[in-house]
A and B are shown apart, each in its own frame.
Chain A
Amino acid sequence: GQQLNQSPQSMFIQEGEDVSMNCTSSSIFNTWLWYKQDPGEGPVLLIALYKAGELTSNGRLTAQFGITRKDSFLNISASIPSDVGIYFCATITSGSRLTFGEGTQLTVNP
């Protein structure tokens, strides 16, 4: 089946640093989504991308839909302790199915 390769698997950073993570695939997609999940909670949608080349910001978060439609990245600027969590990329495939990456575990040291 379709697979999303998300990296890095985990990141340990200092408060105030910028963060970058990405997802790649061998398949072409029409949508890229980025979610954040806190422990014991459901994923929260951060950014939705629908057009190749699209660059979208949400506060300190910026995400881009790759021009080849096979990849996407998420940047977080000036990280703060509440940015801690697992970040998932996802795409929408047949039947409204979501395909998820394996996630990036972010730890922010104060």
Chain B
Amino acid sequence: DTEVTQTPKHLVMGMTNKKSLKCEQHMGHRAMYWYKQKAKKPPELMFVYSYEKLSINESVPSRFSPECPNSSLLNLHLHALQPEDSALYLCASSRMGLHNEQFFGPGTRLTVL
């Protein structure tokens, strides 16, 4: 199984809503990532989890809250988002150490009204 899955595929939320994005992988990867991508731009790193611990937070606003319940799951909790947070949110996973290329999920298209 070389797949990273993400749910939901699409999400529309108001600025006062609370929602969560979910990501799952069964490749035994111990590093998982959240990225934000705007149209026609490369993905921008938000968070990195290594061995289920948050290792990198790229100065992301606190209205984005990541969580890694176990080695296969990664969540991104959303609260009080702004319209400019509308984007494609991508999850990725990789091995640790050598040959640590990242595999991406299909993404969640988020629209904040």
Binding site of B, secondary structure by majority: helix, strand, loop or mixed?
strand
B103 within 8 A of A: yes
- Docked complex Cα distance between A40 and B39 (Å): 9
B34 within 8 A of A: no
With a cutoff of 8 Å between Cβ atoms, the chain A residues found around residue B98 in the complex are 50
With a cutoff of 8 Å between Cβ atoms, the chain B residues found around residue A110 in the complex are none
A42 and B107 contact, CB distance less than 8 A: yes
B42 and A45 contact, CB distance less than 8 A: no
B45 within 8 A of A: yes
Q: What is the distance, in angstroms, from A97's C-beta to the closest C-beta of chain B?
A: 6
Please judge, given known A-B contacts A40-B88, A43-B43, A88-B42, whether A96 and B109 are in contact too, CB under 8 Å. Answer: no
With a cutoff of 8 Å between Cβ atoms, the chain B residues found around residue A86 in the complex are 40
- Docked complex Cα distance between A4 and B88 (Å): 22
Looking at A43, A96, A105, the one whose CB has the most chain B CB atoms below 10 A away is A96
Q: How many residues of B contact A (CB 8 A)?
A: 29
Please judge, given known A-B contacts A43-B43, A86-B40, whether A95 and B106 are in contact too, CB under 8 Å. Answer: no
Residue of B nearest to A4 (CB): B42
A98 and B48 contact, CB distance less than 8 A: no
With a cutoff of 8 Å between Cβ atoms, the chain B residues found around residue A40 in the complex are 88, 107, 109
Q: What is the distance, in angstroms, from A58's C-beta to the closest C-beta of chain B?
A: 13
B107 and A45 contact, CB distance less than 8 A: no
Chain B residues within CB distance 8 Å of chain A? 4, 6, 31, 33, 40-43, 45, 48, 50, 55-56, 88, 90, 92, 94, 96, 98-107, 109
A-B contact pairs, 18 of them (CB 8 A): A31-B101, A40-B109, A41-B106, A42-B104, A42-B105, A43-B43, A44-B104, A45-B103, A48-B101, A92-B100, A92-B101, A95-B55, A96-B50, A96-B100, A98-B102, A100-B42, A100-B43, A103-B41
